[in-house]
Amino acid sequence: MKLATIGVGNAGSKIVDRMLEFESRTDRNLCRHVHAINTARTDLAKPDYIPEERRVLIGDTNQKAKGHGVGGDVEIGAEVAKADLDEIRRAFDDVEIHTVDAILVVAGLGGGSGSGGGPVVIDALQEMYDEPVYALGVLPGEYEGGRPALNAARSLQSFVSKVDNFIGFDNDAWRAREQTIEEGYEQMNRELAARLVTLLAAGETDDSDVAENAMDSSDIIRTLDTGGVSSIGYAATQVEDTSEGLLDRWSSDSQRVNRDDGSQATKIKGLVRRAVNSRLTLPGEVSSADRALAVISGPPSEFSRKGIESARQWLEQEADTVEVLVGDDPRENSPRLSAAVLLSNVTEAPRIDQIQNQAVDAQEKIAEQEAVREEQINDLITDDNNDLDPVV
Amino acid sequence: MKLALVGVGAVGSRMVDRILEVEADTGRAFTRGNALVCDIARTPADGFDAVPEDQRVLLGDTHERVTAEGVEGDLELAADVAGADLPEFRRALDSLAIHESDGVLLVADLGSATGSGAGSVLVEELQGLYDEPLYVLGALPADDDGGTAALNAARALRSVVPTADSTLAFDRETWPGDPERDDDPEIRALATRVATLFAAGELDSPVVAENAMDSSDLIRTLEPGGVSSIGYASTDVEPDERGFLGRLLAWFSRSTDDDEATDAAKVKSLVQRAANTRLTIPCEVSSAERALVVLSGPPSELSRRGFESARQWLEAEADTVEILAGDDPRPRSSTLEAVVIFSNVTDVPRIDTLQRRALDVQAAREGEPASDDDADDARADAASETRDADGVDAADSDSGAGDASDDAPLIEDAEAVADDASE
């Protein structure tokens, strides 16, 4: 499909940047429009692939933000985005909406700009366009602490109720080890970008004569139509490099597809199985999914109709739903065969419950501290009998 | 965070000078020379290298009671002088680009008459003039500085803390030194803490942070007001930028699990050290309402795992969920630094000690006008309490919690004042 992709906040912008990187490396063309929207000038300087003129600074005239972020405060994040709504709408003016199939908003839910500003941006988009608006939301890890959990638990409600589908990414599950801060984020974001782009770039041309099992945008839209929270699984394998010329390979490809090689079928089914059993972007109970869709992406010579059929049967059973689509996405020169599986409307995701519990505790703690704040400050600076006078 | 600095009094001015010096020495840029110092004396203090002549203001030079020695320890006079010379002060402020700053930091020795008296007046003035947050970096006197210093400081705290957006305290009992000396190492240490904290998130490094601690993060952390304390620790490391081959070799040599584990442990213990060793003012860390931690150093040394577990440890230690954590990559730096700020710490034994000392001095002064009907009784109580406390060290400050209910109305009054100030 073809997307307008909008990163809101620091995490969102970085992920969109990595999506563009993955696209350019794998010769895909998913994101026809990109924007990075942020409250911090510093963070907007970071992207390598998002063009300068597509980076929108909001809240620079807001006294609480001044172009320096919102201090991880979801309320200020929302406030700033609302105040600059006109600016956000103006930025979207040049989105040629007829050239895209859907809009994807990417944001981290633990901070302030993405979690607060994201829902405001989504509201504006839903109002302006008929195309479906999806979100990719990054859930903070438990180790990130109480305040991010509270931001996320609150923001999640806004996101899920406003978008046509919310794809979750759990930092806890993807927490990197043994790395520097920079490497850690880079790697997580690259993994996520590979999944998103492999899944959503299927049918980017919607060229029906490419292959009869080709996935197209309407399939993806239909699968995401459930609303709710979704998760993506992914697996990839290297394919053998054939040294034949392009023309030779092309003619032999069509023969091979028809031959339906048994080992290729096994490979494809195995790949889909591996994708589902791999670490999902948001770990959840596969059988609680409402619908499922698998994209097999790679050189057409590796495709197998039988493989697709048996993968579909397996997925139907695993996800416990008859709403399963499996299709391919031919990538002539790809050295990899990969499977991206979308589990749409997964209703059992333990991490979300954990975040909610952590958020409730955090909210109580914050309220307790605020309630005694003034009294404690006064106790500190005043002697027991209030005999010492202020200077002024 | 871009700051405009305002130094008040001889020591406050010198502290500003040191902060500018550290800023220049470490290649940071958060004040960019945006500083003003003022003092009440016939002769402006010498020995300032970093603050240019035209950014030094002389207050009270036409005041009849001001001598060549300044206010000679008279807090009321200092306050009076500052109040009278406010137009002069405002004019001097015009040379500062305050609206381009994200905040103002007033620096003063609250134990000195000028720092306490003029400082309190100028804090109020600055708070009224600008929308930007106003922070105070206030030095609190050591026991050896005498009772008057304690009284000055205790009274200044009552004015400054409710007025300023947050008061960063610097305890000279913990950080002894000679304030008259130009090269006081303790002041330099303080300046390092201030620079590391406020420079994080400024675009003065070639490498962009993953989670930059921007001014909004600091402002939010300091938002509760009250008294704050800064912790800091550093350790020597190899800088990242040392030529391609060196980097390559370093990359190969450090990619083992053992090294990674060491890196993580190094970062975590550094943050723990920052929070546990000499804070700018010793306090019960768990009484903090919010905290912020910045890890600064060569990017290859900033272990993600180490920083994550350090942040988690800090959340438990400070007993708050409001913790912001950021990295501040400095490829050319040969030190790994951690700076922590505990915001609104309410259990600060040293302040209780100063108050007891101040009450003693106040009671001893003759002709002190009674402030209310109960004053005599209260003073007697206070005096006996002071005697009780004399032999005991600062640890008995917990008694603050046992405030009798009879002073409840006074606290209500004080609350009203504080409410006023915080809005």
Query: How far does Cα A99 stand from its chain's mean position?
Result: 21
Query: Least CB-CB distance to A380: which of B227, B302, B404?
Result: B227
Q: What is the pLDDT along chain B (423 residues), one digit of tens a residue?
A: 999 999 999 999 999 999 999 999 988 889 988 999 999 975 555 667 778 888 888 998 888 888 877 888 899 999 999 999 999 999 999 989 888 899 999 999 999 999 999 999 999 999 999 999 999 999 999 999 999 999 999 999 999 999 999 999 999 999 998 766 767 899 999 999 999 899 887 766 677 788 888 899 999 999 999 999 999 999 999 887 655 555 555 555 555 555 666 888 999 999 999 999 899 999 999 999 999 999 999 999 999 889 999 999 999 999 999 999 999 888 888 999 999 999 999 999 999 999 999 999 999 985 555 444 444 444 444 444 443 444 444 444 444 443 333 333 333 343 343 444 433
Cα B386 from Cα B403, distance rounded (Å): 15
A159 and A17 together in one domain: yes
d(CA B115, CA B128): 19
β-sheet bridge partners, residue B236: B335
From the list A358, A144, A184, A183, the residue with the least C-alpha distance to B310 is A144
B401 known member of a binding site: no
Q: Report yes or no on A384 lying in a domain.
A: no
Question: How would you classify the pairing of strands A291-298 and A336-344?
Answer: antiparallel
Helix (H) or strand (E) holding A340: strand A336-344
Q: Are A373 and A263 in contact (CB under 8 A)?
A: no
CB atoms within 10 A of CB B211: 22
> Of A175, A200, A225, which residue constitutes the final position of a domain?
A200
Say which residues have a Cβ less than 8 Å from residue A106's Cβ, sequence separation at least 6.
A5, A6, A7, A8, A11, A12, A13, A15, A16, A19, A135, A136, A137
- The two tokens of residue A372 are 């005694």
Quick one: tokens of B126? 């600055």
For residue A179, the distance in angstroms to the closest alpha carbon of chain B comes to 6
For residue B82, give both structure tokens: 């500052």
For A369, the closest of B215, B320, B399 (CB atoms) is B320
List, in order, residues 6 or more apart from B10 with CB less than 8 Å away.
Answer: B39, B41, B45, B109, B112, B114, B179, B180
DSSP code at position A201:
T
Structure tokens at A60: 């620079």
Residue B218 in contact with residue B198, Cβ under 8 Å?
yes
CB-based contact B96:B136 (threshold 8 Å): no
Residues A109 and A143 grouped into a single domain? yes
Let me know whether A238 and A328 are in one domain: yes
How many whole angstroms from its chain centre is CA A295? 17
β strands within A214-330, DSSP E:
229-238, 291-298, 324-330
Are A305 and A270 contacting, i.e. CB atoms less than 8 angstroms apart?
no
Q: Does B51 touch chain A (CB under 8 A)?
A: no
CB contact set of B186 (below 8 Å; sequence gap of 6+): B172, B175, B176, B177
| A192 and A49 belong to one structural domain | yes
pLDDT the model gives residue A193: 97
Domain with residue A191: its CATH number is: 3.40.50.1440
Judge whether B362 is closer than 8 Å to chain A, CB to CB.
yes
Residue A111 lies in a domain: yes
Asked if A366 is an interface residue toward chain B (Cβ–Cβ < 8 A), one would say yes
Domain that holds residue A279: 217-344
The CATH number assigned to the domain with range B215-343 reads 3.30.1330.20
**pLDDT for position B224:** 97
Block residue for tokens 């994201």: A118
- Provide the domain count of chain A: 2
Kindly give the parts of chain A with pLDDT less than 50.
Answer: 208, 243-244, 249, 252-260
CATH code, B3-199:
3.40.50.1440
Return the domain boundaries, chain B. 3-199, 215-343, 349-422
Q: Closest to B300 (Cβ–Cβ): which among A10, A180, A366?
A: A180
Identity of the amino acid at A304: S
CB-based contacts of B241, cutoff 8 Å, min separation 6:
B247, B298, B331, B332
- Shared-domain flag, residues A265 and A311: yes
Question: Which residue is associated with the tokens 């003016």?
Answer: A93
Specify the pLDDT at position B379: 45
Decide which of A326, A344, A362 is a domain's last residue: A344
Please check whether residues A92 and A181 belong to one and the same domain: yes
Q: Is residue A304 part of a domain?
A: yes
User: What is the pLDDT, as a whole number, of residue B326?
Assistant: 92
pLDDT value of position A363: 97
Nearest Cα to A160, choosing from A109, A224, A227, A225? A227
Per-residue pLDDT at B368? 54
Q: Is B353 annotated as a binding residue?
A: no
- Phi, psi (5° rounding) for residue B296? -125, 140
Q: Which residues in chain B are closer than 8 Å to A383, comparing Cβ atoms?
A: 154, 355-356, 358-359, 382
A244 neighbors A252 (Cβ within 8 angstroms): yes
Classify strands B56-59 and B103-109 as parallel, antiparallel or unpaired: unpaired
- Residue A359 in any domain: the answer is no
CATH code of the domain covering residue A231 = 3.30.1330.20
Same domain, A177 and A237: no
Q: Within a domain: residue A329?
A: yes
Q: Are residues A26 and A129 in the same domain?
A: yes
Q: Note whether B336 and B270 are within 8 A (CB).
A: yes
Q: Within a 10 A sphere around the Cβ of B350, how many other Cβ atoms? A: 22
Q: What is the DSSP letter of A68?
A: B
Residue from B256, B321, B377, B396 whose CB has the most chain A CBs within 10 Å, to mutate: B321
The three-state DSSP-derived secondary structure of chain B is: CCEEEEEEHHHHHHHHHHHHHHHHHCCCCCCCCCEEEEEECCCCCCCCCCCCHHHEEEECCCCCCCECCECCCCHHHHHHHHHHCHHHHHHHHCCCCHHHCCEEEEEEECCCHHHHHHHHHHHHHHHHHCCCCEEEEEEECCHHHCHHHHHHHHHHHHHHHHHCCEEEEEECCCCCCCCCCCCCHHHHHHHHHHHHHHHCCCCCCCCCCCCCCCHHHHHHHHCCCCEEEEEEEEEECCCCCCCHHHHHHHHHHHCCHHHHHHHHHHHHHHHHHHHHCCCCCCCCHHHCCEEEEEEEECHHHCEHHHHHHHHHHHHHHHCCCCEEEEEEECCCCCEEEEEEEEECCCCCHHHHHHHHHHHHHHHHCCCCCCCCCCHHHHHHHHHHHHHHHHCCCHHHHHHHHHCCHHHHHHHHHHHHHHHHHHC
Please tell me the distance from the alpha carbon of residue B210 to that of residue B199, in angstroms, as a whole number.
16
* A366 closest CB neighbour out of B209, B322, B356: B322
Tell me which chain A residues have a C-beta less than 8 angstroms from the C-beta of B156.
391
Looking at the fold, whether A19 and A64 belong to one and the same domain comes out as yes
The candidate with the shortest Cα–Cα distance to A337, out of A307, A363, A313, is A307
Q: Is B327 on the interface with A (CB under 8 A)?
A: yes
A26 and A175 assigned to the same domain: yes
Residue B145 labelled as part of a binding site: yes
Q: Is residue A373 part of a domain?
A: no
Verify that A166 and A279 share a domain, yes or no: no
Residues A225 and A184 in one domain: no
Read off the amino acid at residue A1: M
**Cβ-Cβ contacts under 8 Å, A178 against chain B:** 257, 260-261, 264, 305
For A135, phi then psi, to 5°, come to -130, 145
Measured between alpha carbons, how far is B100 from B96 in angstroms, rounded to an integer? 9
CB within 8 Å: A180 and B79: no
CA distance B104 to chain A (A): 14
Counting Cα atoms < 13 Å in the Cβ hemisphere of A19 gives 32
At residue B349, the pLDDT reads: 97
How does the average pLDDT of chain A come out, rounded?
Answer: 91
Nearest to B300 by CA among B251, B262, B265: B251
Q: What is the reported pTM?
A: 0.85
The angle subtended at Cα B232 by Cα A376 and Cα B107, nearest 5°, is 65
Distance of CA B395 to the CA centre of its chain: 22
Count the neighbouring beta carbons within 10 Å of the beta carbon of residue B79. Answer: 25
